């Protein structure tokens, strides 16, 4: 578990819940004692996940959720850790190959039918390289139109500065009224709603072929929009 003072993102907590849910379901089906599992329980759980066709990254996410439950049990003097030797198989396809960026004509197709807020959303991903979670939590106070920069708090609470393109600067300026509360979110909503809205926009703008499972910007991996 995190050390004292560490912060856990809502996304990480959701992943933990999913991992524990799958681990408990597996244990129930296999009649595996939760408090006293065997040393092979973790590796067998891992192989079961892989047999369902899950990607290695998904398997690792489920294991990451199940491990804290076992650490809590270890703290209660149940010393055997079934996940000590549980490792997901390596991915055979590089992450970049699986998550190609949207091409420029696809981005332009999205922008052509976008309202001002959705236009800013698309450009924050395509030009600034922000992830969906970073886009929906971006506040007006994080954006400096004068300096043409924005500050992003990403994974691990790491802060980075991103330069704004001309079109992104224009899009953000269009969202900012003359008198504002700087704590207001630029886009708002949540990651799930944002992905759903983008998926629908992809379908309207081009076809379902464009609304594919890709994480992308023209510069680096940014958003993941399941089809």
Q: Please determine, for residue 140, whether its predicted confidence score (pLDDT) is greater than 80.
A: yes
Question: Does residue 131 share a domain with residue 197?
Answer: yes
Q: So what's the pLDDT on residue 81?
A: 62
**Among 13-27, 55-69, 137-151, which stretch is predicted with the lowest mean pLDDT?**
55-69
The answer to whether 76 and 30 are in contact (CB under 8 A) is no
Question: Does residue 77 share a domain with residue 25?
Answer: yes
- Identify whether 1 is part of a domain: no
Point out the domain boundary residue: 92, 122, 142. 92
Q: Which domain holds residue 176?
A: 98-205
Q: Please determine, for residue 67, whether its predicted confidence score (pLDDT) is greater than 60.
A: yes
- Identify whether 2 is part of a domain: no
pLDDT in tens, 73-83: 554 455 556 66
Q: So what's the pLDDT on residue 97?
A: 56
Number of domains in the chain: 2
CA 153/CA 28 separation, integer angstroms: 39
Angle between helices 10-29 and 41-51 (to 10 degrees): 100
As a whole-number percent, the residues of the chain with pLDDT over 90 amount to 17
Average pLDDT over residues 112-132: 89
Q: So what's the pLDDT on residue 89?
A: 67
Point out the domain boundary residue: 38, 73, 92. 92
- Identify whether 168 is part of a domain: yes
**What's the whole-number average pLDDT of the chain?**
75
Question: Does residue 194 share a domain with residue 116?
Answer: yes
- CATH number, residue 136: 1.10.443.10
User: Element (H or E) spanning 194, and its range?
Assistant: helix 191-205
Question: Does residue 103 share a domain with residue 61?
Answer: no
Question: Does residue 188 share a domain with residue 110?
Answer: yes
The answer to whether 148 and 164 are in contact (CB under 8 A) is yes
CA angle 57, 6, 56 (to 5 degrees): 5
Question: What percentage of the chain's residues is helix, strand, coil (to nearest 5)?
Answer: 50, 5, 45
Alpha helices (H) in 10-103, listed in sequence order: 10-29, 41-51, 56-75, 95-98
- Identify whether 213 is part of a domain: no
Question: Does residue 133 share a domain with residue 68?
Answer: no
- Identify whether 211 is part of a domain: no
Question: Does residue 192 share a domain with residue 125?
Answer: yes
Residues 6 or more apart from 32 whose CB is under 8 A from it?
Answer: 26, 38, 41
CA angle 204, 208, 212 (to 5 degrees): 115
Question: Does residue 128 share a domain with residue 71?
Answer: no
Q: Please determine, for residue 92, whether its predicted confidence score (pLDDT) is greater than 70.
A: no
Q: So what's the pLDDT on residue 43?
A: 86
Average pLDDT over residues 13-33: 83
Point out the domain boundary residue: 25, 58, 92. 92
Question: Does residue 180 share a domain with residue 108?
Answer: yes
Q: So what's the pLDDT on residue 214?
A: 39
- Identify whether 171 is part of a domain: yes
Q: Are strands 143-144 and 159-163 parallel, antiparallel or unpaired?
A: unpaired
Q: What value does the CA radius of gyration of the chain take, rounded to a whole number of Å?
A: 21
Q: So what's the pLDDT on residue 120?
A: 93
Question: Does residue 112 share a domain with residue 66?
Answer: no
pLDDT in tens, 152-205: 988 778 889 999 999 999 999 998 765 567 678 888 888 888 888 888 877 777
Q: So what's the pLDDT on residue 99?
A: 62
- Identify whether 163 is part of a domain: yes
- Identify whether 52 is part of a domain: yes
CA 73/CA 200 separation, integer angstroms: 44
């Amino acid at each position: 578990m995190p050390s004292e003072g560490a912060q856990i993102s809502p996304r990480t907590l959701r992943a933990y819940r999913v991992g524990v849910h799958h681990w408990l379901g597996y244990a129930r089906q296999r009649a595996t004692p939760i408090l006293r599992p065997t040393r092979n329980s973790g590796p067998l759980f891992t192989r079961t996940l892989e047999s369902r066709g899950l990607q290695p990254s998904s398997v690792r996410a489920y294991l990451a959720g199940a491990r804290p439950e076992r650490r809590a049990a270890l703290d209660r003097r149940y010393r055997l850790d079934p996940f000590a030797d549980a490792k997901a198989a390596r991915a055979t396809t590089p992450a970049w190959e699986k998550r190609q960026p949207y091409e420029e004509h696809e981005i332009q197709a999205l922008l052509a039918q976008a309202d001002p807020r959705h236009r800013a959303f698309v450009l924050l991903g395509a030009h600034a390289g922000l992830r969906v979670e970073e886009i929906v939590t971006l506040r007006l106070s994080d954006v400096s139109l004068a300096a043409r920069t924005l500050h992003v708090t990403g994974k691990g609470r790491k802060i980075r500065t991103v330069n704004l393109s001309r079109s992104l600067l224009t899009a953000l300026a269009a969202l900012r009224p003359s008198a504002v509360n700087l704590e207001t979110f630029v886009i708002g909503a949540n990651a799930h709603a944002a992905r759903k809205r983008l998926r629908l926009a992809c379908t309207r703008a081009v076809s379902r072929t464009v609304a594919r499972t890709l994480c992308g910007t023209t510069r680096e991996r940014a958003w993941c929009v399941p089809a």
